[in-house]
Amino acid sequence: MAPLAPLSEEPISEADPKSIKNLSKRTHSFRAWIANHLISHNKSDLRILLSVVGCPLSPVPVLPSPPRNVASTAEYIIQQFRATTGCAKIEGGVKTMYAAGRVQLAMWGPGNRTAERRHAGCFVVWQLMPNMWLVEMAVSGHKIMAGSNGHVAWRRTPWVGAHAARGGVRPLRRTLQGLDPVSIAAVFSPAQHMGEKFIGEEDCFVLKLDVDNSTLSNWGDSTAEVIKHNMFGFFSQRSGLLVRLEDTQLTRIQSPGAEAMYWETTISSSIEDYRMVDGVAIAHSGRSTVSLVRFGFGVKANRVLTQMEEVWSIDDVVFNVPGLSIDSFIPPEEVQRSNIYDLSYDEPR
């Protein structure tokens, strides 16, 4: 499914422990996982939720420095966002950030408009600007972690272990949901202005980011090919703040001798309750909905297979955390032994 994050974030089969040691050989896991879990809707719903919603990444990296001259509508919108949130107050002066919050997760399948059960939990995020971060999330007795040391991103779950990302380092999507205005401005600085749209009662500017083909090619493997991925930011014309974030990924799955199957994953996040923290506007609550659609041979076109929801709130945000250093972001040993980890240090920086 590869939902919106090149952390190899398709749901992962937890059955074979050998796959943890050799992820490159796990070419059949995606189809087997779908057959065993999503279609049957068994008791592993929480694992599905955490795999998809827990720690997704942004599809695009943070640029070294956002443009400062206002030469287009999109750049004007970002400059307005920077001024409203007070980005300039922390750029250069803030090196680290800590945030703690709570989540509620839910999932339901076709024909069910209400979730059968909601899972409550909490999370913490540490960040060393701009590309080092670590997140821990605990929900209903399960704990997952993800991180980046500035060269490679990784994730660890109890049912698979630790594994490295494909395609380089990107910010955590959660920080783009109003938690890190500096990264939001940097990520959307090269975006295209697509017009205006009403979101609820807000008249918003729409900015669009498309992921280029060379980046998409780095996300795939022998059975999964990411065909397209785009992200939209909706910025209020009244306040200048980011109030909605949407991204969609289309993935083609095909094993040898089988018909191709297509999966479209869409995450839509509403961002609310901006509050001032040390002079910077930080969003303190929101809601994300996820739709997974599959189509292809033998499947009804555009049939929604399952939907997910995350409701979150932020309890605490602290800048310039004492004692937080690069040693806090060292990946697990399994990740350091992976081929992806070695390649990340060979790529140009």
The domain segmentation of the chain, as residue ranges, is 18-343
Place of tokens 């979101």: 199
Longest Cα pair distance anywhere in the chain, in angstroms?
59
- Res. 345: pLDDT tops 60: no
Question: For the residues 90-97, what does the mean pLDDT come to?
Answer: 85
Question: For the residues 110-127, what does the mean pLDDT come to?
Answer: 80
**pTM score, whole prediction:** 0.82
What pLDDT is attached to residue 4? 33
Q: Which tokens sit at 32?
A: 């087997």
Q: For the beta carbon of residue 141, count every other beta carbon within 10 angstroms.
A: 9
Q: Which residue has the higher pLDDT, 274 or 166?
A: 274
Question: For the residues 305-309, what does the mean pLDDT come to?
Answer: 84
For 271-305, the pLDDT digits (tens) are: 999 999 999 999 999 999 998 888 776 666 556 67
Q: Would you place residue 139 in the very low, low, confident or very high pLDDT band (cuts 50, 70, 90)?
A: very high
- Res. 191: pLDDT tops 50: yes
The answer to whether the CB of 133 falls within 8 A of the CB of 165 is: no
Question: For the residues 34-41, what does the mean pLDDT come to?
Answer: 43
For 237-271, the pLDDT digits (tens) are: 999 999 999 999 888 888 777 788 888 889 999 99
Tell me the residue type at 160. Answer: V
- Res. 339: pLDDT tops 80: no
The answer to whether the CB of 264 falls within 8 A of the CB of 226 is: no
Q: Cis omega before residue 130 (within 30°)?
A: yes
Radius of gyration of the chain (CA): 19
Q: Which tokens sit at 29?
A: 């896991």
- Res. 342: pLDDT tops 70: no
Cα dist. 28→20, 33, 93, 198, 216 in Å?
A: 14, 9, 47, 42, 20
